[in-house]
Structure formats: structure tokens, C-alpha cells
Amino acid sequence: MWPASVSIREVGPRDGLQNEAPVPTADKVRLINALGQTGVKRIEAVSFVHPKAIPQMADADEVWASITKVPGVHYSALVPNLKGTQRALDAGFTEIEVVVSASDTHNRRNINRSTEESLGEISSILAKTPVEVIIATSFGCPYEGDVDPARVAGIVDRVVADGAQRVAFGDTTGMATPVRVRKVIEAVRANHPDLPLLLHFHNTRGTALANVLTALDLGITEFDASVGGLGGCPYAPGATGNVATEEVVHMLHDMGIDTGIDLEKMIEVAAMAEKIVGRELPSGVLRAGPRSRIIT
Ligand code: COA
Ligand code: ZN
């Protein structure tokens, strides 16, 4: 049985735009404001990271101060450490995601710390404020290859013991497949049957919607997605963005699953996103329109 509704967190303004050539602050604000009118209830708006690491997010404070906050929409920020958490709290965010990679090599490249060191810092963060913990490279690491689901489950055990009340699993470079999704979720569920879990897929190898469907079958009801499938990396050949929000919504609505999102409006925002980044985005639903659109 599929769930009656699914909660989608739009991550295009953060995960998408951090991987595109930098866009002006005003365009980010326009994009987030337009997303706020689509019915989506959660938007990851910015990240508070080192501006040298990700120059695209250097204007996070300005973006956050400039957007029109829509009542009922939950805006969040991603952070890599205590300093980022403090910046997010100072800016007025009440919803924060802290990221750590399951694989040590990726965590060192991304955050300049071992996984163990980051988990220590996350423990201090959780002692200070509730945050969602995002475990990146949960389904595979571009430097280390397969990641043992037991390692991912072990990280969940740690952060839950430290007070995390929700956990997300990032498929950072699109290495997830349905069978790996199943293994990770089953490994985590063994110790935490009721913990809210969110899945974050990239469509690098074309498996993202299949992964979403697999996760739905396993009772997962929260997903990240980015409008138009924004993202990728100009320096990493073959890297692509998150699964496109309108592709997920299109599939879910046809399955009778409510998202609260107006599909046509989301497609309009995807077209806007395409203009903002100045390149064709990979979303098939943006290209072809929904299946209900009849050619006259
Ligand atoms: N935002 C802004 N500045 C930060 C920061 C943050 N979140 N965290 C640390 N800094 C500053 C420190 O204050 C320090 O400043 P100073 O030199 O003026 O004293 C300086 O950065 C170095 O601090 P350190 O803790 O040694 O950081 P680092 O050089 O080891 O870098 C990160 C660690 C986490 C800050 C950096 O790797 C980073 O921002 N990574 C994010 C990568 C990312 O966003 N990836 C995509 C999302 S998954
Ligand atoms: Zn991502």
C-alpha cells in the first residue's frame, strides 16, 4: 500500500544552485519566492558553509533576508559544522540540516574532517539545538565505492543516541539503486522502526525515480527533489542534479498520492530555473509536459 501523501522538500535553491555557475542574489530570491507559491511545504533555501568551499552560497544571509516568507512553508538551511549552525541560528532559521558523509574520504574532501570528527561535532550541535542529520554517500562513495549499509546504520545509531529526531540519506553522486535503497533502509529500520527518514536522490545514472518508488514501498514518505533537476557540477563530468521535483510530483499524483504541490506551477518554476541558469535542465516533465497534457 502506498501512502496517501508524501512530503517533498525542494532543494533546488541550495543543492541545485551550489552546483551551477554562480547566479545573482536577486535570481535566487526570485526562484525561492516562486517556489513558495507552488504549494511545496518545505524549501531548503541556503547553506552556511565556508564561502571559499562553495562561493555560490556566500550570499546566504542576504538571500534569506530578502525572500518573502510564505506562511505554512518551512524554510531550512544546510550546515557542515557548529560554526554553520550558529550562523543559521543567528540568521533566524529554526530548521537546520547538518551533513556528514558515511564514507571517510568523501567527508574529508567535503568538510575537511573524518566522519568520526564530524560525528563528534554533530553531538555538540545536537546538545545545543535540534537538527536533522543528513548522511551523505549513504548508497556509495565516488572515492571508496560501496558503503556498507551497516556503517550507515551505525551512524544513525550514534546520532539518534545523541538526540537526532530525524535522519536523511543522501545519494550524493547518484550511486543508489533500488536494491541498495532497500538494504540501507532495512538496516536502519532494524533498530529504529519509527524514526522519520528522508531520502535524497540524484539522477546521475537514471535510477532516481525507481529509488523513490522502492522507498515508497518501504513506507518512506519524505523526499528531497530539485526543480527542473537543477544541479550537477561543471567540474565533474557526468554529475547531475537531484531528481526533478516535477518528475516526482507527476509520478506521485498519478499514483493517487497527494503532495500539496500544483504540478503546472512547479513546471513554470522549472522553466524559470532554466532561464536563470542559462542551460537546458534535464527534467522530462518540463520538456514534454505532464501526461495529462493533450496535443490539440
Ligand atoms: N561558514 C563560514 N565560515 C566557516 C564555517 C562556516 N560554516 N566553518 C568554519 N568557518 C571558518 C572558521 O571560522 C575559520 O575562519 P578563520 O580562518 O577566519 O578563523 C575558517 O573557516 C577555518 O575553519 P576550519 O574549521 O579549519 O574550517 P576548514 O577550513 O577545515 O573547512 C568547512 C571546513 C566545513 C568550513 C568547509 O570544508 C566547508 O564549508 N565545507 C562545505 C562543503 C559543502 O557545502 N559541500 C556541499 C554540501 S554537502
Ligand atoms: Zn545532493
- List, for residues 14-39, the tens digit of each pLDDT value: 999 999 999 999 999 999 999 999 99
The atom number, within ligand 1, closest to the CA of 78 reads 47
Q: How far is CA 211 from the centre of its chain?
A: 14
pLDDT at 148: 98
Position 293 in a domain: no
Q: What is the pLDDT of residues 154-207, one digit of tens each?
A: 999 999 999 999 999 999 999 999 999 999 999 999 999 999 999 999 999 999
Position 295 in a domain: no
**Any ligand 1 atom below 6 A from CB of 83:** yes
CA atoms within 13 A on the CB side of 127: 7
User: What radius of gyration, in Å, describes the C-alpha atoms of the chain?
Assistant: 18
AA letter at 32: I
Position 89 in a domain: yes
**Any ligand 1 atom below 6 A from CB of 134:** no
- Whether 238 shows a pLDDT value over 90: the answer reads no
pTM across the whole model: 0.97
In this structure, how many other beta carbons lie within 10 angstroms of the beta carbon of residue 109? 13
Position 75 in a domain: yes
**Any ligand 1 atom below 6 A from CB of 84:** yes
Position 294 in a domain: no
Position 196 in a domain: yes
Position 122 in a domain: yes
Average pLDDT of the residues of the chain = 96
117 by Cβ neighbours in 10 Å (0-12 / 13-18 / 19+) ranks as middle
Number of folded domains in the chain? 1
Q: Please report, for the domain that includes residue 258, its CATH number.
A: 3.20.20.70
Position 1 in a domain: no
The atom number, within ligand 1, closest to the CA of 84 reads 7
233 annotated active-site: yes
12 by Cβ neighbours in 10 Å (0-12 / 13-18 / 19+) ranks as buried
Question: 258: domain range?
Answer: 7-288
